[in-house]
């Protein structure tokens, strides 16, 4: 192996015409270079040539990203989004160079740093890897917050899954942690282990009898992992809603979900969910018409000003789809014709509403 003196020997580099000086320990013997091409290039077998050569060792690569790489090897520092925007050409070149040098530790550190930023956690938390990051998250006693943070970490991993080819499917690692959390919440004696097992388990799972914590946990996962097709497939047939309706004097509610209007007078009754739409989520629900019902509007409104015994579409209190002719009404009270729309008012019609609180969008799907 190398001696202590060799480890601190100064290595002079000429990277694409820019000169750098560093130690052999930084380039080849730090844990941050483990398994990398950089560590191989400056390995023990190459020491005689490198150490006797007083000239700069030439590397035909881009010097700007190498500067960031060398900073990481020395200090562990990773440039943040504000330091180096993730869509900039400089960032894209840095990712190319990281893969060229085989620096899996730097890919892991970037991924972890972006998770810390997305979750708005304390930047002083000593986090070195995704594994460390997930350990920090799972120490949270609030299972709902924990699952929401794990879902956000999963989203970051998915964003980098194709770019960071040195890392082996980091989103799968997060999946394992989420499944472990579910095992605990569901009091599973046999671990779920895989997403396929979770899908099979949920096919026969009676969500309605679950306790409040489990209901909230499942709803959180469903809403927070909407970016992933596999998770969407798992939850597509499971209603994890806790919607309970409330109405005024001119209507009745059965089983908390089935609404019947009891007055023939137009626009004198409103029905609204008791719970607010969770922030940072996609919330979906469906309305099935039990009778022909032209004078009906479906949408989102503020519960604090919602009128349960009158109309709401023209007083700036929400966003609605009008079943009679497919017109959309906004909070300003003005109607905008729905492109490609039309009536959706006959018995059996199913209207699906989707509200994306992240993108601040809302959509309606008829019999889809």
The rounded percent of the chain whose pLDDT value lies above 70 is 88
Please give the pLDDT value at position 246. Answer: 87
Q: At what angle do helices 130-137 and 143-160 cross, to 10 degrees?
A: 160
> Most confidently modeled of 12-21, 288-297, 333-342?
12-21
Average pLDDT (171-176) is 93
Please give the pLDDT value at position 241. Answer: 59
Element at 222 (helix H, strand E): helix 212-224
Structure-token match 């979906």, residue found: 284
What letters, b where the CB count within 10 A reaches 16 and e where it falls short, cover 253-267?
A: eeeeeebebeeeeee
- The mean pLDDT value of the chain amounts to 84
Q: Are 296 and 345 in contact (CB under 8 A)?
A: yes
| Interval 101-155: pLDDT, tens | 999 999 999 999 898 888 887 666 555 689 988 988 998 888 888 998 999 999 9
Lowest mean pLDDT among 25-34, 127-136, 258-267: 127-136
Lowest mean pLDDT among 38-47, 166-175, 246-255, 298-307: 38-47
> What global pTM score does this model have?
0.69
Lowest mean pLDDT among 50-54, 160-164, 251-255, 281-285: 50-54
How would DSSP label each residue in 130-197?
Answer: HHHHHHHHTT-S-HHHHHHHHHHHHHHHHHHTTT-TTS--HHHHHHHHHHHHHHHHTT-SS---SHHH
| Interval 205-250: pLDDT, tens | 887 788 888 888 888 888 788 788 899 888 876 766 556 788 889 9
| Interval 309-334: pLDDT, tens | 988 877 667 888 889 888 888 766 55
Q: Quick one: which of 92, 107, 85 has its CA closest to 169?
A: 107
CA 34 to CA 28: how far, in whole Å?
8
Average pLDDT (188-195) is 91
Q: Is the pLDDT of residue 186 over 80?
A: yes
The two beta strands, 327-329 and 318-322, are: antiparallel
Q: Are 175 and 192 in contact (CB under 8 A)?
A: no
Please give the pLDDT value at position 334. Answer: 56
Which strands sit side by side in the sheet containing 361-366, from one edge to the other?
282-288, 350-356, 361-366
Q: Are 245 and 256 in contact (CB under 8 A)?
A: yes
Please give the pLDDT value at position 6. Answer: 58
Average pLDDT (160-182) is 90
Please give the pLDDT value at position 116. Answer: 87
Average pLDDT (190-218) is 87
Lowest mean pLDDT among 30-34, 160-164, 237-241: 237-241
Structure-token match 């409330």, residue found: 246
Please give the pLDDT value at position 245. Answer: 84
Q: Is the pLDDT of residue 358 over 80?
A: no
User: What number of other Cβ atoms are within 10 A of residue 101's Cβ?
Assistant: 23
Q: What is the CA radius of gyration of the chain?
A: 28
How would DSSP label each residue in 48-116?
Answer: HHHHH--SPEEE-S-HHHHHHHHHHHHH-----TTTS-TTSHHHHHHHHHHHHHT-HHHHHHHHHHHHH
| Interval 91-102: pLDDT, tens | 999 999 999 999
Please give the pLDDT value at position 1. Answer: 46
Please give the pLDDT value at position 98. Answer: 95
What letters, b where the CB count within 10 A reaches 16 and e where it falls short, cover 177-195?
A: bbbbbbbebbeeeeebeeb
């Amino acid at each position: 192996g190398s001696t202590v003196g060799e480890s601190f020997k100064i290595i002079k580099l000429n990277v694409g015409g820019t000169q750098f000086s560093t130690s052999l320990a930084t380039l080849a013997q730090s844990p941050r270079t483990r398994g990398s091409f950089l560590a191989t290039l400056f390995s023990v077998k190459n020491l005689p040539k490198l150490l006797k050569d007083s000239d700069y060792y030439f590397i035909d690569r881009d010097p700007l990203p190498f500067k960031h790489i060398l900073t990481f090897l020395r200090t562990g520092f990773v440039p943040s989004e504000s330091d180096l925007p993730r869509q900039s050409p400089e960032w894209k070149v840095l990712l190319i160079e990281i893969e060229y040098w085989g620096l899996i530790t730097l890919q892991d550190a970037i991924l972890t740093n972006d998770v810390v930023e997305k979750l708005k956690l304390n930047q002083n938390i000593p986090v070195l890897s995704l594994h460390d990051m997930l350990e920090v998250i799972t120490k949270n006693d609030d299972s709902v917050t924990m699952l929401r943070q794990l879902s956000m970490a999963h989203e970051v991993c998915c964003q980098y899954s194709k770019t960071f080819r040195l890392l082996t499917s980091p989103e799968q690692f997060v999946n394992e942690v989420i499944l472990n959390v579910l095992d605990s919440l569901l009091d599973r004696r046999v671990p779920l282990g895989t997403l396929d097992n979770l899908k099979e388990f949920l096919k026969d799972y009676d969500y309605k009898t679950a306790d409040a914590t489990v209901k909230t946990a499942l709803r959180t996962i469903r809403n927070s992992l909407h970016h992933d097709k596999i998770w969407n497939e798992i939850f597509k047939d499971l209603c994890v809603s806790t919607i309970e309706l409330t109405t005024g004097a001119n209507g009745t509610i059965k089983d908390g979900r089935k609404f019947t209007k009891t007055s023939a007078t137009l626009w004198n009754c409103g029905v609204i969910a008791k719970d607010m739409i969770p922030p940072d989520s996609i919330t979906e629900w469906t309305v099935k018409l039990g009778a022909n019902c032209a004078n009906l509007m479906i949408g989102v409104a503020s519960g604090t000003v919602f009128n349960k015994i009158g109309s709401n579409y023209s007083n700036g209190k929400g966003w609605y789809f009008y079943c009679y002719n497919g017109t959309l009404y906004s909070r300003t009270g003005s109607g905008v014709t729905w492109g490609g729309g039309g009536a959706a008012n006959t018995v059996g019609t199913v209207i699906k509403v989707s509200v994306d609180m992240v993108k601040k969008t809302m959509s309606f799907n008829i019999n889809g």
